[in-house]
Amino acid sequence: MSTCRTYQEWMPEALYDELEQPRAEELARHLDECAACAALCGELRTTLETMSARRRPDPGQVFWDGYWRRLEERVARDTAAADASRFGRWRPAGSWGFRVAAAVAVLAGGVWIGRTILAPQPNGAAHDPASVVVAPPEQAEPQPQQLALDSQGGPPAGSEGRPIDAPAGEVRGDTGDSHDAGAGVVTAASYTSEAQRYIGRSQVVLFALLNGGTDEGEGAGFGSERAQARVLVAEGQRIQDDLTRPEDRRLRDLVGQLEMILREIANLEADSDLAAVEMIRNRVDREGVLLRIDLQQMREASGTDRKQGGQGKAFD
């Protein structure tokens, strides 16, 4: 059974006598039963009669006398525009040729500059601060201090991963100026190792905060975490400034994210900031900070394994 909406869609065709006969009869029966549709159909019929009653007035003899003259002028203008467009289509062929020639000239100039001016000098390779490698010292007589270390079975605890000391006669500058020439020999690997240690220390603080209790009165239990967070916040910006290589971008972003979270931990109040602790926990979970730390540690471990494998093959 058709609805009023269906019959209303048939009305324009019925007014122009374009509706099929069965549908026209069905629409007529519906209009006899439905007052709303009958009123709408009457309005449409009145509008159509009003529009049909309008007749375009005759422009007059003056218009028709100048009609052919205006038509000829318009045809002449259209012909001239078409000729101009055909000429414009021929013109890009030459311009494209000049563009291709200019591109070839630029490429040839770049190749010439690369081979003559920017070519590596035969006397030595270009200096790259990120690729500076400290050569191992020549074998010398063991010093008393070295003998004492060897007798104890290895270097003192906490000495792994520290930057290599500069040779005698060289003065190592401040950490903030270590990228400047003459400030000391500091490899980019030492900055990466320091950032890895920073991430590990930050992970310990986050674990302590996440695994702490949420009962009332336990806010004072985060005093050590707040103290460690202050120390890490003070070191975060310096570590980010040291990570200048493009391949350290992911590591630098993670250090910056940890610094922001640690800053919130450092600003916690002792007794009445449990709501802020819960907000920090939610942020760590929402941003997947611990997952990013795990992925970074996995990448670092994979890179270390590749380096050790390459060294083993070199010794073989």
Asked whether residue 32 carries a pLDDT value surpassing 60, the answer given is yes
pLDDT bin (cut points 50, 70, 90) of residue 134 is very low
- Which amino acid type is present at position 85? S
Look at residues 257, 155, 146, 156 and name the one whose alpha carbon lies nearest to residue 206. 257
- Other beta carbons less than 10 A from residue 246's beta carbon: 6
Interhelix angle for 274-287 vs 289-315, to 10°? 50
Output the DSSP codes for 208-262: HHHTS--STT-GGGGHHHHHHHHHHHHHHHHHHHH--SGGGHHHHHHHHHHHHHH
pLDDT of residue 298: 87
**225-271 pLDDT, tens digit each:** 888 888 999 998 888 888 888 888 888 899 999 999 998 888 887 65
N-terminal to C-terminal alpha carbon distance within the chain? 90
Q: Over the chain, what is the mean pLDDT?
A: 73
Query: In the predicted model, what is the mean pLDDT of residues 286-315?
Result: 75
Reported as type and span, the H/E element at residue 266 is helix 249-266
pLDDT of residue 40: 92
